[in-house]
């Protein structure tokens, strides 16, 4: 169980070949979150987009990405089984809390089992009554947790974190951070964290990769 | 808008602009509706009718054509609205993240500028038994005579439905593109695909449900036009029975003046029908988004799901079909002999151009003058109102304000125009240039304002803060920062406003009372029975006029932006 990057590099299409992220090789194992740090514009979020398969057309990618032995590079985003959490919770405003959770839950869970999975998730979130609530009525911390749970219910094999703690206040940030890492660890997910905050890196506890600004 | 008026502290000269907008454009619509409703209920003192009651409605409903006309109107109006919406959403969904759509959008803007009548004439020429489609098939399949298919004016209104769809789909595509950023479509899409949904599934389940509520007003405008249009119906629709709006015109043209009351009753029926169709669409949406919402969360599936077949083909098809329609107008205008099954005329002639050039150019001049005047006035009103909103700390109209602005597009044209005409006759204003100009403003202002307010909303507000901090006052910021930064959207909005004016048929007809005519009224009046070559001349000039203005606007803004790459959208 691991996410492996092998000689992964990102270049701009315009001007052709300009290097954004120099070749990167690392293996991310469960329980050993890797943290990616660097100034704005160093390509951290673009690297995550490359791993998700949503690299903007302005960039090109070389190298290999393997997840549990599967080659991801050529796969569509939806086939990669890579979960991602953004700075904003991005709960769908047109769906209720329960429907947001169901959105990524695989189709193999049907009928009452489906309901049961969602109810279990709500209970883990300590929001047992919230299934039919509008996500807009939740607090920021609750929304962040629902967002993580939605990602986990899709049964990803790796978790990418794109500064998901940066918009939360200090107290909330600590709680949500341990919530995320605990859940990732219990599911044995390799985690790649992008952050500006050294405290995040410390909490992650794994190796830190520093990206510098491209020349 | 009333709330907006209150918000400004003490007097602000800018309040004049929304004030004029409100009292000059919105209020008369309501008066016009009232002016049509009263005769429908039996009250028209000018004709000595003062008996209130439903007897006029009863007379209308007893007319043998009414119920067939009702069904036909519902089928073409609702059918083309739903079809355009489906096509627009499918096309945008299949292509919004590709560079292809950006390329297509210039073509779509051109389609938007194309007058309804010119497109309808072109489409009629294309579909007719002796038209290009039949000739091409005839050449390939060696048909000896033109086919005996009934395309134009078919009793089910299929060609009318197609024509309306062809005209409305580009508008709905552009409106959908305009609301995409408001619903953060990109992040919804990214989240949905990261959760395992295919691109199609992500579009329909995560993005479309957020889009639909924001498309209510444009969709309402499409519905009202499709249900109540007269110009396209005259060209493409069946005559016996005709759609409801055409039936209304027949009552109005009847020598017996008391038929005016029946015409008003017909207007009331049209209004009720439009409302009922709108309620039906809302109920359908409610069913999809609230009643049976399980379809949104069945979970991602491994298969790519059904995809929209040949979206790019269809999108290009829209542009190509409309382009061919304009081209066939040109070919018809210079055809002398055109024997079956040749794809091109066998003998060419400029005779019709020589004979009618003078008259056509004179009409084109009148149309141009009217359109330019309406566009400039509408620009002034819209820019003033937008500045007023900015000064009172808002970037856009409140929802009631927006609905008020949309009102002329949401209420079937024949209804309020009938009421306005009654009043105009009473005040001896009918047939004056001023009244025609004003009736054009009713339609040019909403389109122009809505297209400008998008640009206003998207302008980064911090530029204005910086300019103020650099010592410019509000007025200077408007002239030296906003206007120069927004030259491109202003020029394009102006060109579209102009095209709206050129395309207007019924308002020109009602307000002009035969004394003020434009290319459109002249072309449409030739719809039945006139020589196709003559129609070709009129309709081609009608199509080219707004396209020329649009080309000028695009070219002008490109020239302006050549050394300002940061401003080019």
Three-state SS string over chain A comes to: CCEEEEEEEEEECCCCCCEEEEEEEEEECCCCCEEEECCCCCCHHHHHHHHHCCCCCCEEEEEEEEECCEECCCCCHHHCCEEEECCCCCCCCCCCHHHHHHHCCCCCCCHHHHHHHHHHHHHHCCCCCCCCCCHHHCCHHHHHHHHHHHHHHCCCCEEEEECCCCCCCHHHHHHHHHHHHHHHHHCCCCEEEECCCHHHHHHHCCCEEECCCCC
Among the ranges given (A46-55, B77-86, B98-107, B360-369), the one the predictor scored with the smallest mean pLDDT: B98-107
Rounded to the nearest 10°, the torsion over CA A117, A119, A123, A128 is 170
In chain A, pLDDT over 70 holds for what percent of residues? 100
Question: Which one-letter DSSP state was computed for residue A128?
Answer: T
With 80 as the cut, is the pLDDT of residue B7 above it? no
Which residues in chain B have Cβ-Cβ distances shorter than 8 Å to A93?
210
CB contact under 8 A, B187 and A88: yes
- Position B9 confidence tier, pLDDT thresholds 50, 70, 90: very low
Query: Mean pLDDT, chain B, as a whole number?
Result: 88
Grouping H, G, I as helix, E, B as strand and the rest as coil, residue A70 is: strand
Summarised one tens digit per residue, pLDDT across range A180-205 is: 999 999 999 999 999 988 999 999 88
Q: With a cut of 90, say whether residue B562 has pLDDT above it.
A: no
Q: What is the pLDDT of residues B474-491, one digit of tens each?
A: 888 888 888 888 888 999
Is the CB of A106 less than 8 angstroms away from the CB of B300? yes
Task: Tell me, rounded to whole angstroms, the distance of Cα B223 from its chain centroid.
Answer: 10
Question: Helix axis angle, B116-127 relative to B532-561, nearest 10°?
Answer: 130
What pLDDT sits at residue B302? 59
Q: How far apart (Å, rounded) are the C-alpha atoms in residues B344 and B342?
A: 5
Q: Radius of gyration (Cα) for chain A, nearest Å?
A: 18
Q: How many CA atoms lie within 13 A of A22 on its CB side?
A: 7
Cis-peptide into B341, omega within 30 deg:
yes
Shortest CA distance to B125 belongs to which of B502, B539, B505?
Answer: B539
For residues B307 and B159, which has the higher predicted lDDT (pLDDT)?
B159
pLDDT digit string, tens, across residues B52-83: 888 889 999 999 999 999 999 999 999 999 99
Per-residue model confidence as pLDDT tens digits over B267-326: 999 999 999 999 999 999 999 998 888 888 888 875 655 555 566 677 778 888 899 999
- CA distance to partner chain B, nearest, from residue A204 (Å): 23
Which 3 state secondary structure label does DSSP give A202? helix
Contacting residues for B150 by C-beta, under 8 A, at least 6 apart: none
Angle at B173 between CA B171 and CA B179, to 5 degrees: 105
Phi, psi values for residue A122, rounded to 5°: -60, -35
**Predicted-complex ipTM score:** 0.83
pTM: 0.88
Beta bridge partners of A193: A35, A161
B chain contacts of residue A77, beta-carbon cutoff 8 Å: 190, 193-194
**Token pair recorded at residue B385:** 């109102």
- Are B147 and B129 in contact, with CB atoms under 8 Å apart? yes
Q: Which residue of B has its CA nearest to A93?
A: B210
Residue B129 C-beta-side C-alpha neighbours within 13 Å: 10
Whether B102 has a pLDDT exceeding 90, the answer reads no
Q: What is the mean pLDDT of residues A85-102?
A: 92
Q: What kind and span of H or E run contains B226?
A: helix B216-228
Locate the DSSP E strands across B342-416: 347-348
B196 to A78: CB separation less than 8 angstroms, yes or no:
yes
Give the nearest partner residue to B195 out of A86, A104, A108, using CB atoms.
A104
Please state the rounded mean pLDDT for residues A53-70. 91
Q: What is the per-residue pLDDT across B495-549, written as a single tens digit (0 to 9) for each?
A: 999 999 999 999 999 999 889 999 999 999 888 777 888 999 999 999 999 999 9
Reported confidence tier of residue B182, pLDDT bands at 50, 70, 90 = confident
Question: What pLDDT score does B358 carry?
Answer: 92
Contacts with A86 from chain B: Cβ below 8 Å = 187, 191
């Amino acid at each position: 169980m691991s996410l492996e990057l092998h000689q992964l590099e990102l270049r701009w299409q315009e001007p052709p070949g300009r290097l954004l992220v120099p070749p990167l090789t690392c293996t991310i194992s469960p329980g050993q979150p890797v943290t990616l740090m660097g100034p704005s514009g160093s390509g951290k979020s673009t690297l995550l987009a490359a791993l998700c398969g949503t690299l903007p057309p302005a960039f090109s990618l070389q190298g290999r990405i393997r997840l549990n032995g599967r080659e991801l590079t050529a796969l569509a985003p939806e086939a990669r089984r890579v979960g991602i959490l953004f700075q904003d919770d991005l709960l769908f405003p047109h769906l209720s809390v329960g429907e947001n959770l169901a959105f990524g839950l695989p189709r193999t869970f049907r009928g009452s089992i489906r309901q049961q999975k969602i109810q279990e998730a709500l209970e883990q979130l300590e929001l047992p009554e919230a299934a039919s609530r509008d996500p807009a009525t939740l607090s920021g911390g609750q929304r962040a947790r629902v967002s993580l749970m939605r990602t986990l219910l899709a049964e990803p094999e790796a978790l990418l974190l794109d500064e998901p703690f940066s918009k939360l206040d200090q107290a909330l940030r600590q709680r949500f951070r341990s919530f995320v890492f605990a859940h990732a660890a219990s599911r044995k997910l390799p985690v790649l964290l992008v952050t500006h905050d050294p405290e995040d890196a410390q909490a992650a506890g794994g190796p830190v990769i520093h990206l510098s600004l491209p020349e | 808008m009333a709330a907006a008026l209150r918000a400004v502290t003490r007097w602000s000269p800018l309040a004049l602009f929304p004030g004029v907008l409100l009292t000059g454009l919105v209020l008369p619509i309501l008066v016009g509706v009232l002016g049509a409703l009263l005769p429908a209920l039996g009250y028209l003192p000018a004709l000595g009718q003062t008996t209130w009651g439903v007897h006029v409605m009863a007379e209308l409903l007893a007319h043998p054509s009414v119920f067939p006309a009702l069904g036909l109107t519902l089928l073409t109006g609702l059918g083309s609205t739903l079809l355009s919406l489906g096509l627009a959403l499918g096309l945008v969904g299949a292509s919004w993240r590709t560079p292809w759509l950006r390329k297509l959008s210039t073509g779509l803007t051109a389609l938007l500028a194309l007058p309804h009548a010119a497109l309808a004439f072109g489409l009629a020429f294309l579909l007719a038994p002796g038209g290009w489609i039949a000739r091409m098939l005839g050449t390939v399949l060696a048909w000896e005579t033109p086919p005996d298919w009934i395309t134009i004016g078919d009793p089910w209104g299929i060609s009318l439905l197609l024509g309306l769809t062809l005209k409305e789909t580009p508008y709905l595509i552009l409106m959908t593109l305009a609301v995409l950023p408001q619903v953060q479509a990109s992040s919804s899409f990214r989240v949905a695909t990261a959760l395992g949904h295919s691109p199609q599934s992500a579009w329909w389940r995560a993005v479309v449900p957020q889009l639909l509520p924001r498309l209510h007003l444009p969709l309402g405008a499409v519905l009202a036009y499709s249900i109540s249009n007269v110009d396209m119906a005259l060209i493409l629709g069946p005559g016996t029975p005709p759609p409801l709006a055409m039936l209304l015109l027949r009552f109005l043209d009847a020598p017996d003046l008391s038929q005016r009351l029946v015409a008003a009753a017909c207007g009331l029926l049209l209004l009720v029908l439009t409302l009922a169709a709108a309620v039906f669409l809302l109920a359908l949406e409610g069913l999809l988004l609230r009643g049976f919402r399980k379809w949104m969360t069945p979970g991602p599936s491994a298969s790519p799901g059904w995809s929209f077949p040949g979206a790019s083909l269809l999108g290009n098809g829209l542009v190509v079909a409309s382009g061919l329609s304009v081209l066939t107008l040109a070919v018809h205008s210079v055809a002398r002999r055109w024997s079956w099954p040749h794809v091109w005329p066998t003998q060419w002639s400029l005779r019709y151009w020589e004979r009618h050039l003078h008259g056509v150019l004179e009409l084109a001049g009148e149309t141009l003058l009217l359109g330019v005047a309406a566009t400039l006035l509408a620009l002034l009103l819209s820019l003033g109102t937008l500045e007023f909103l900015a000064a009172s700390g808002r970037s856009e109209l409140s929802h009631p304000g927006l609905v008020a602005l949309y009102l002329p597009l949401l209420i079937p044209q024949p209804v309020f125009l009938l009421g306005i005409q009654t009043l105009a006759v009473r005040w001896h204003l009918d047939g004056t240039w001023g009244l025609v100009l004003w009736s054009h403003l009713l339609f040019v202002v909403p389109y122009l304002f809505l297209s400008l307010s998008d640009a206003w909303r998207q302008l980064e507000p911090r530029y204005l803060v910086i300019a103020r901090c650099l010592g410019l006052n509000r007025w200077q910021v408007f002239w030296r920062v906003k206007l120069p930064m927004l030259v491109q959207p202003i020029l394009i909005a102006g060109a579209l406003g102009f095209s709206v004016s050129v395309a207007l048929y019924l308002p020109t007809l009602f307000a002009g009372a035969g004394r003020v005519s434009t290319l459109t009224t002249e072309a449409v009046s030739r719809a039945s029975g006139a020589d196709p070559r003559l129609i070709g001349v009129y309709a081609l000039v009608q199509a080219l006029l707004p396209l020329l203005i649009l080309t000028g606007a695009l070219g002008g803004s490109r020239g302006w932006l050549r050394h300002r790459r940061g401003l080019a959208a």
